[in-house]
Amino acid sequence: MNEKTKKQLIPLHVSRFKKLGEEDFESFWEEAALKAQDEIYWFRKWDKVFSWDEDIFKWYIGGITNICYNCVDYNVKKGRAGRAAFIAESGETGEVNVVTYGQLLAMVKKYASALRGMGVKKGDPVAIYLPTCIESVVTMLACARVGAVHVAIFAGFSGKAVADRLKLSGAKFIFTQDTGSRRGKMIPLKKTIDQSLEIYSTEIKKVIVLNKSKNKEITMIRGRDIYWDEFLEMGKGSSSVVEKMESNEPLFLLPTSGTTATPKVTVHCHGGYQIYIHSMGKWIYNLRESDVWFCTSDIGWIVGHSYNVYGPLLCGCTSILYDGTPDYPGNDMWWDIIERNQVTGLWVSPTGVRGLMKIGINSAQKHDLGSVERIFSAGEVLNPPAWHWLQEEVFKNNIAVIDHMWQTESAGPLIGNPYGLSLLPIKPGSAAISVPGVEVDIVNEKTGHSMPPGEKGILVIKNPFPGLTPTLWKEHKRYLLEYWEKIPSTRVYYSGDAAYSDDDGYIWFVGRSDEVIKIAAHRIGTIEIENVLMAHPAVVESGVSGVPDELKGQVACAFVVLKNGYTPSEELKKELLLYVRKTIGPFVVIRGLEFVQMLPKTRSGKIMRRIMKAIWTKKDLGDLSTIEEEASVDEIIDAVKKMQKEGIIH
């Protein structure tokens, strides 16, 4: 592609804006903070925008702020008191709760007083093991208000996973609920906390229990466990005033989701975090006050933090909080929410899209979705077949369905289509370009040399940006080793994601670095094979892993989920293998392919390819506490046994 065509693909004002960030990233992010002052208030302006001394970087040094003040108080001062801040809906109970900005301020103040009355001090880690609901997000905001550090834990994790996160964070206060519900099945949340504290024996000061189901059978330990109304009573006589925080003081801790075996506890700080997610909210999502924004994530994940809670509030819009699944009790839950609330912006994971695709087009067609202006997807690559289904079949090309990429460590998007600045041409399967203010490269993992277009390498980030975690909680040496010292003789941030760029500068992700399969002399990403399998009309989802091979070094194994109406057969299996061979080439050797009902995934929707590989290679499965459905592991085990029986593996 010649340079003239390339320039036309990315509008001049976008390329100029990106260039400013590459030429002087410090000045770029200072200007971003100055322009955001209408929505992000600083009690005291920073003395210096950026420093990077002794392997520690900081943003907006000396600046005094508080993200809770900007999310709540500042909105009320700007006349938004009567506007809905949150619409909380439970698919499980049918409960709907609308809270305005004015009501939110009153609730946050009440919770903040209670936190102080209970003995929570600035800097104390506070664990939140609650579903996505008004009480959980108000607790997050109240922690931020008093300078405590919240640690939201997905309310579906096992006692072991919760214990790990309590131990890693050092939290001494825990907020939970008596029971929750998933697909009509009772989830014993308080009991899980009790189990976690048996595993991790430590002195917990208080466990605060929201008695939502009025369950009288839960065990309450005298002196440690209290109910929610008792907690709120503790606020009498205590201040609700906003704690003024230096920009680099921690806001929250969040462990990574666990596609690898050991979670790393990321740290996000008041100043840089709010500037970054506000900027991405504007430049990528085009968030504005009039939006009704529906992010389908959970507050237990970084997406839930940034774009269920903080990002929408910083922009003054209405955010929908949904507790439930898209297909229970009805198979059109998300579509119904969109129609009833006149949703303008939708954020959904690729797993969510594939789930909707499996349910079928009919559930979408029952609803008027005309209010939706744009859709965003991240978490894994949005496979082209899933993109085509949502873009063309559901929304008839009337709006843009936009794939993008980010990490727990990055707080917000890293690679994306800058919809808020100008929508670029969409290439299905690509996350588009690096976002403004973040300079990336794709390099050889061993040498650090830049890779030419079309050649696979590792995505790296050349300089820090305000949303990037500046450390791992109490593990700074590990942070430097795993992120900044991974590639010899360079100081770049190692993302761990394998990718390549094309001639237009678009980035295409192919899997995590340890998921790239080396077949003889060829390197191919697991996602590339999965995309081809999903392009077949019978396939709704697939998972691929590389496994050892004596002759070729590695080959692929594949597990396939079929669409409704298709039946597993040897003929279909041969057809799929031939389809991959014809589409990618004969060098892609798939040792075995089996049909399953579900794939092993983390609770945030990422396919756990390491589990598939471990089963195949008869290795220890490691920690399974973050898995969505344990039955999915049994499916893979049975599939591998079938391959062994057929002589495919030994």
Provide the terminal-to-terminal Cα distance of the chain, rounded to the nearest Å: 48
Of 324, 347, 374, the residue at which a domain comes to its end is: 324
Burial class, 123, CB count within 10 angstroms (exposed 0-12 / middle 13-18 / buried 19+): exposed
Boundary residue ending a domain (455, 483, 509): 509
- How far is Cα 335 from Cα 333, in angstroms, rounded to an integer? 6
Residue 398 inside a domain? The answer is: no
- Please indicate, yes or no, whether residues 457 and 545 belong to a single structural domain of this protein: no
> Residues 410, 467: contact at Cβ < 8 Å?
yes
Q: Residue 190 is part of which domain span? A: 64-324
Residue-wise pLDDT for 365-392, tens only, equals 999 999 999 999 998 889 999 999 999 9
DSSP 8-state code for residue 76? H
Question: Which are the contacts of 564, defined by CB distance < 8 A and separation ≥ 6?
Answer: 358, 360
Backbone torsion region of residue 447, taken as left when φ is above 0, otherwise alpha when ψ lies between -120 and 50, otherwise beta:
alpha
How many domains, the chain? Answer: 3
Task: Tell me what pLDDT residue 1 has.
Answer: 42
Span 539-558, pLDDT tens digits: 999 989 888 877 777 788 89
In a domain, 650, yes or no: no
pLDDT tens for each residue of 387-426:
999 999 999 999 999 999 999 999 999 999 999 999 999 9
Q: 556 pairs with which residues across the strands?
A: 546, 590
| Angle of the 25-35 helix axis to the 12-23 helix axis, nearest 10 | 120
Q: Which of 268, 299, 324 is the last residue of a domain?
A: 324
Q: Evaluate whether 145 touches 66 at the Cβ level (below 8 Å).
A: yes
> What letter would DSSP give residue 514?
G
Residue 249: count other Cβ atoms within 10 Å of its Cβ: 18
- Beta strands 48-53; 56-61: pairing state: antiparallel
589 in the same domain as 538:
yes
557 plus 624 within the same structural domain: yes
* 429 secondary structure, DSSP code: T
279, 208: one domain: yes
* DSSP state, residue 426: P
Q: Is residue 222 domain-shared with residue 247, that is, in the same domain?
A: yes
CATH code for position 601:
3.30.300.30
Is the pLDDT assigned to residue 164 strictly greater than 70? yes
Q: Are residues 23 and 97 in the same domain?
A: no
Q: What tokens does 640 get? A: 């591998």
pLDDT (tens digit, 9 = 90+) per residue, 552-583?
777 888 999 999 899 999 999 999 999 998 88
Looking from the CA of 485 toward its CB, the CA atoms found within 13 Å total 7
pLDDT tens digits, residue range 494-543?
A: 999 999 999 999 999 988 877 777 776 667 878 889 989 999 999 999 98
What count of other Cβ atoms lies within 10 Å of the Cβ of residue 382?
29
345 inside domain: no
103 in any annotated domain: yes
**Co-location of 30 and 71 in the same domain:** no
Are 310 and 185 part of one and the same domain?
A: yes
pTM > 0.85: yes or no: yes
